[in-house]
Structure 1
Amino acid sequence: MTTTAKEATDKISGVSETLMITLYARYVESQRQDAILRDNKATEIVEKIDYDFSKYAQGWASQLGCVIRAEVYDRLVLQFIQNHPKATIINLGAGLCTRFFRVDNGEITWYEVDFPEVIDLKRKLIDEGNRYRFIASSILETTWIEEIQRVAPVLIMMEGVSMYLTEVEMKTLFQSIVRHLAPVIILMDVIATKRAKNTKKHDTVSKTTAEFKWGLDNSKKLESWGQGIKVTDEIYYLTRFANYPDRLPWWGRYLRFILSAMFKNFGRVIQVEISK
């Protein structure tokens, strides 16, 4: 009996390694009967790679937060696709995101952009196609923009990305998007400034060498980064922890509504519209 060798992940380190946290969260969720979302592709990938996921096993808060956030993104992207069936969608800092397989309508064009070592691993695990393309590039470079065959309207996603960039890097990225891709809608999530100062206390990111660098308390600040930038929606997804008392530790069950109010601003998904 032969055993298929698993794909090595030793080149995935630093910020790139955080992709394993979100992948594992979706994998664990998919095993639950009461799953918030099911991701069969994530299950396939976990079984194909050589990586020690056990270090994230105790990170219940991160696991729940990641899948709630993923469900929010799924819903928003699906709404966009329903309104724009032939849209161009760009996933910046894509990691091993598998959203394309959950929302594809057979007509959209989808780009996944990430560091070369991440894209190299992704190509070993997932097949590209005419409408599903990978770009090996840092999102802070402009080379990825040159590879986009833009067909309006355009949606850009940055899931679990902003907190690992500095404010200057985020602002520069926004300004590049304004210059080269507007009009465009951006979906991104941010963490609060206070939370950005406590990487070592995070239940899963602290198990990697990645560090939080930026947080945002007032989303309207983004509108000062360039002309035509407008924040049109904010979703405080961490408040949904209160909806899942059975997943919380005993103390969290009693305090869930208080904690939801306290942590409301700690993580949120923002929708930004950029006009020409």
Structure 2
Amino acid sequence: MLTQQLHVQSPKPQHNISMQRTATSLGADLPNAHAILRMRAMPSHTVNLRGVSQTMLQTLAIRAFRMSDALAMSLLRRLNFDFSTAARDEALSQAVVARTLALDSLTASYIAAYPHGVVVNLAAGLDTRFHRLHTADVTWFNVDLPDVADARARLLGHSKNLFNIAADATTTAWAEKINNQLAQLRTTTRTATRATAHTAEAQPDDMPMHQPVLVLMEGLSMYLNDQQMRSILHVAADAFPHAMFVAEALTPRAAMTAIMPSISATGSRFTWGADRGDSLHALEPRFQWSADVPLENREHYLAILTR
């Protein structure tokens, strides 16, 4: 089973994660958020986002402030946005640090097991995981709404093997675009292999049709409803015969009672939660529930499903 091949490093379930200890585990000291804000040069980019899409700026700031993510820090310094609320939001900071560590660990294990694998990052925002991890031979798709995908392309540019997909995760468009792109890449690989076959030993297809795809859904489920969750899972199950689907989730109680000022400042609110990850199997039975990985507390977790 795929989950048995991957190792997930989970923070110990607790209500008060030490941010200093967490940042140090990534090889960097916790920077002072207010010092970073004072050090910013004249911002050169304005990103006009509203509602849930704007939350990507809050989580970007937390990765810069709390985890010394160098690329996140570079982006933060270029953006014309007030990050002071994110700097003071301890609840969101704990959640973002915990999920980032766990998802980085899981993704790194997937890449080690499948160095030519495919990663799909739903609701990617300005996530920098592709750049943090050793992803040289992985094909990576960042999926988000068109305005977010446009902002991402302007701020982060393009990288080899990295594709930005402009689509709503609750529709079929993202999966169709990804499978079309994968088909083109496979055709290109086969053509190149045939062209060099007379001078070099033929190489195996680096993108086999049925290798497992890793689908990450971070910072999205809590803004959805049952029907939207079902749609996303259904589309993923249709598109990928072999996949691991990892969804960040809150329990219903946590979704209803969470106090995160930087999220509230965007006008967003949490609308969905599940007590256990097997609730996702009930929404889409083709995905088998494998495990729940608790994060900074047991009401915030990663639900891992496979097919």
Shared fold, TM over 0.5:
yes
Matched, 1:215 2:273: yes
What is the DSSP-based 3-state SS (H/G/I as helix, E as strand, rest coil) of the residue aligned with 2:281? helix
What is the DSSP-based 3-state SS (H/G/I as helix, E as strand, rest coil) of the residue aligned with 2:153? helix
1:173 to 212, 219, 232: 232
What is the DSSP-based 3-state SS (H/G/I as helix, E as strand, rest coil) of the residue aligned with 1:63? helix
Match for residue 132 of structure 1?
A: 162
Separation in 2 of the partners of 1:66 and 1:164? Answer: 16
Separation in 2 of the partners of 1:142 and 1:45? Answer: 31
Deviation, 1:113, is 0.6
What is the DSSP-based 3-state SS (H/G/I as helix, E as strand, rest coil) of the residue aligned with 1:128? coil
Deviation, 1:66, is 0.7
What is the 5 A alignment of 1:66-215?
66-148=96-178, 149-150=181-182, 151=207, 152-198=211-257, 201-215=259-273
Residue 56 of structure 1 contacts residue 207 of structure 1 at CA under 8 Å; is this kept in 2?
no
Residue 121 of structure 2 contacts residue 141 of structure 2 at CA under 8 Å; is this kept in 1?
yes
Larger radius of gyration: 2
Deviations 1:188-246 (A, max 9, x none): 110010122236x323212211121100002212222234311112111114xxxxxxx
* 97-106 vs 84-93, which moves further: 97-106
Separation in 2 of the partners of 1:39 and 1:153? Answer: 28
Identity of aligned residues (%): 26
Amino acid aligned to 1:195: A
What is the DSSP-based 3-state SS (H/G/I as helix, E as strand, rest coil) of the residue aligned with 1:145? helix
Separation in 1 of the partners of 2:167 and 2:229? Answer: 16
Residue 248 of structure 2 contacts residue 300 of structure 2 at CA under 8 Å; is this kept in 1?
yes
Residue 192 of structure 1 contacts residue 216 of structure 1 at CA under 8 Å; is this kept in 2?
yes
Deviations 1:109-141 (A, max 9, x none): 001110111111111111213401101111112
Amino acid aligned to 1:192: T
Q: Which runs of 5+ in 2 are unaligned?
A: 1-40, 183-206
Ranked by relative contact order (alpha carbons within 8 Å, sequence separation 6 or more), the top structure is 2
Deviation, 1:5, is 5.3
Match for residue 293 of structure 2?
A: 235
Matched, 1:8 2:66: no
1:64 to 86, 91, 94: 94
Residue 51 of structure 2 contacts residue 267 of structure 2 at CA under 8 Å; is this kept in 1?
yes
- After superposition, the CA RMSD in angstroms is 1.6
Q: Which runs of 5+ in 1 are unaligned?
A: 31-37, 240-263
Amino acid aligned to 1:110: W
Match for residue 203 of structure 2?
A: none
TM-score, length basis structure 2? 0.74
Match for residue 65 of structure 2?
A: 28
Match for residue 12 of structure 2?
A: none
2:305 to 264, 272, 275: 272
Match for residue 31 of structure 2?
A: none
Deviations 1:39-75 (A, max 9, x none): 1110111011111001222212211221121010000
Separation in 2 of the partners of 1:5 and 1:192? Answer: 38
Deviations 1:159-201 (A, max 9, x none): 11100111110011111111122211111110010122236x3
